[in-house]
Amino acid sequence: MNEVLRMIESRRSIRKFTDQPVDQETLTLLMKAAMAAPTAMNAQPWEFVVITEKPVIERLRKHMMFGKMNATAVICVLGSRRKQKNKAGDLFWVQDCSAATQNILLAATSLGLGAVWVGVYPIFIFQQTVSAILNLPERVTPLNLIYLGYPDEVKEPRTKYDPERVHWGPFPKDTRRKLFKKFRKRQELIIEEDIESNGSENTGNDH
Ligand SMILES: Cc1cc2nc3c(=O)[nH]c(=O)nc-3n(C[C@H](O)[C@H](O)[C@H](O)COP(=O)(O)O)c2cc1C
């Protein structure tokens, strides 16, 4: 297996960290990996907040229901309307910023770090909490928090490969029609039952 594929399978959600801090040089490598991600129409609708200040991390840990891990660094990935290079970002920012997030996770793994993606958007209360703690400006939306550090737990590399999720080529042509027929049959049944129980001929169709 080549190095990239090995890293993809080695990336696991790490939720326990040692006290060893992550230095700025390493964090810069992660930012470079993030901004190597593809984006729709190359809009790059992102900004990143890199946090190593203990009190700020503690505040996030205290207030984020699913973000209690003892990380030594946290990266907040922001969708940014104020920095995006064109309007494609309005539509595609979640996908663009998710691609950047995965790049960070993979780069972190390759550098011997552990990390976990903590979802923020689209849970409004999480967005408000993160915005307040990080003093976020207008026209940015926190997509997630990436908790980072040197791992204090070991997880085996793995894929969740399931051949039944893979369709080699299009679905058979009649799949959609069958679905439609099934739906129509069910509707007819519901209407019949309705007539029987109400003793009425009214199907809700006025014409
Ligand atoms: C959108 C998204 C949100 C997630 N949010 C959380 C979270 O709030 N807390 C957490 O511990 N893990 C979170 N995770 C990590 C998943 O729980 C994890 O990826 C999944 O259990 C599979 O495990 P693995 O990453 O080791 O393959 C999130 C992952 C994604 C992609």
Q: Would the CA dihedral through 169, 1, 107, 156 be positive or negative?
A: positive
Residue whose CA is at the smallest distance from ligand 1 atom 3:
119
Same domain, 145 and 178: no
Same domain, 136 and 185: no
Residue 141, H or E segment: strand 140-149
66 lines ligand 1 (CB under 6 A): yes
Same domain, 145 and 175: no
41 found inside a domain: yes
207 found inside a domain: no
Output the CA 117–ligand 1 centroid distance in Å: 5
State the closest ligand 1 atom to the C-alpha of 101, by its place in the atom list counted from 1: 31
119 lines ligand 1 (CB under 6 A): yes
Phi, psi angles (nearest 5°) of residue 179: -60, -45
**pLDDT for position 199:** 61
CATH number at residue 20: 3.40.109.10
**pLDDT for position 201:** 47
28 found inside a domain: yes
Count: domains in the chain: 2
Residue 126, H or E segment: helix 124-133
Tens digit of each residue's pLDDT, the chain (207 residues): 899 999 999 999 999 999 999 999 999 999 999 999 999 999 999 999 999 999 999 999 999 999 999 999 999 999 999 999 999 999 999 999 999 999 999 999 999 999 999 999 999 999 999 999 999 999 999 999 999 999 999 999 999 999 999 999 999 887 777 777 777 778 778 878 877 887 644 443 444
69 lines ligand 1 (CB under 6 A): no
Q: In the structure encoding, which two tokens stand for residue 10, read together? A: 């080695």
Q: How far apart are CA 107 and CA 24, in angstroms?
A: 14
Same domain, 11 and 113: yes
Q: Return the best residue to mutate from 117, 126, 144, 158 for the ligand 1 pocket (most ligand atoms within 8 A of CB).
A: 117
118 lines ligand 1 (CB under 6 A): yes
Same domain, 86 and 123: yes
Same domain, 140 and 96: yes
State the closest ligand 1 atom to the C-alpha of 65, by its place in the atom list counted from 1: 8
Output the CA 83–ligand 1 centroid distance in Å: 27
192 found inside a domain: yes
Domain housing 27: 3-149
163 found inside a domain: no
Q: Which of 96, 97, 100, 84 is nearest to 30 (CA)?
A: 100
Q: How far apart are CA 26 and CA 30, in angstroms?
A: 7
27 lines ligand 1 (CB under 6 A): no
Question: Mind giving me the DSSP string for 103-125?
Answer: HHHHHHHHTT-EEEEEE-TT-HH
Same domain, 129 and 46: yes
Same domain, 99 and 193: no
Q: In the structure encoding, which two tokens stand for residue 19, read together? A: 């006290």
